[in-house]
Amino acid sequence: MAHPVSNTFTAFDAVGNREDLADAIYDISPIDTPIMSSIARNSAAAVLHEWQTDALAAASSSNAVGEGFDATTDAVTATTRLSNTCQIADKVVRISGTQEVVNKAGRSSEMAYQLAKKGRELKRDMEAIITRNGAEAAGDVSTARQLGAIPSWITTNTSNGTSGSDGSLGNTARTDGTQRAFTENLLKGVLRDVWDNGGDPECIFVGAFNKQKFSEFTGNATRFKSAEDSKLSAAIDLYDSDFGELEVIPNRFMRARDALLVQKDMMALSYLRPFVTHDLAKTGDSERKQLLVEFTLEMRNEAAHGAVWDLTTS
């Protein structure tokens, strides 16, 4: 190895060279929230958010009346009233006065940067909240309220592993059963049930492992659709079922053992308080801000959706 000429002053000797820190921050953490981004949005006006469902009487092939007969009054049924509790989720940032004013790489305001980061984290939390296997909890002065998540609602069109059982109206979490491989026959059975009960799902949400299992299904087809406002074409996985095409969407934040079939207009996020930022009480040489959202899942009609539960994940 060659050595520098005697008395050559090198960078190893210097103490005044400026640092070379790129003026950017690189973060590949996923921020896609596919279910939140797909379903409807609504507003809530109380901690307990309520809505109604209804259904038509079964079709009758024997509906015939005699000529001149008196009219017979048909039975009338009341609507079904459902509810879910609004849940509060938040992120809190505290930045010292010094850190806010010093010269920083990649951002001018530490508070603004951290709030933006926490906003993305909060949306990821919300996706995980609505897809967890969790029942509604009304809460009290010492216990946080919790919304009933999707797995606690879907009961009409489901496929369970051995010993698995469905939840109930958001009030009871489902009981997980023995895991089994995701197969096309399992999916077809649930799709048939959804269609028979009046549903028309457009999306299938699965985790990474079962997205790859799904790619082996014979009904799977990849279509290329051009975005209306872009020259680029995007590959969209579509399942060409007996009851129409469904978009197949991988979801990083849902339970990997679940496959959810969703009709987008029959499920909504209802916000009592949309995303809002509050200044918190100042104590010492720092600033604190709270980013908060209060929301619930509005399962407009669970029979419009379906689920294949208890799938293997490796």
Would 234 be classed as within a structural domain? Answer: no
Contact 47, 86 (CB under 8 A): yes
Q: What is the pLDDT of residue 25?
A: 65
Would 128 be classed as within a structural domain? Answer: yes
Residues forming a β-bridge with 156:
none
Would 255 be classed as within a structural domain? Answer: no
| Number of compact structural domains in the chain | 1
Would 301 be classed as within a structural domain? Answer: yes
Residue type, 197: N
Cα distance between residue 218 and residue 207, in whole Å? 19
Residues ≥6 apart with Cβ < 8 Å to 166: 154, 155, 158, 160, 174
Distances 150 to 8, 58, 162, 176, 306 between C-alpha atoms, Å: 70, 27, 21, 14, 10
Residues forming a β-bridge with 244:
241
Would 162 be classed as within a structural domain? Answer: yes
Alpha helices per DSSP H over 57-202: 97-101, 110-131, 184-196
Would 158 be classed as within a structural domain? Answer: yes
The pTM of the full predicted model, rounded to 2 decimals, is: 0.87
Would 129 be classed as within a structural domain? Answer: yes
Q: What is the pLDDT of residue 107?
A: 87
User: How many CA within 13 A on the CB side of residue 50?
Assistant: 7
**CATH code (residue 93):** 3.30.2400
Range of the domain at 160: 34-50+82-201+265-308
Q: How many CB atoms lie within 10 A of CB 280?
A: 12
Would 299 be classed as within a structural domain? Answer: yes
Q: What is the pLDDT of residue 45?
A: 95
Q: What is the pLDDT of residue 26?
A: 67
User: From the first residue on, what is the mean pLDDT of each consecutive set of 10 residues in the chain (314 residues)?
Assistant: 67 72 68 90 95 90 88 90 96 93 88 92 95 96 96 97 96 97 95 96 95 80 48 61 90 96 96 94 93 96 97 96
Q: What is the pLDDT of residue 231?
A: 44
Q: What is the pLDDT of residue 206?
A: 96
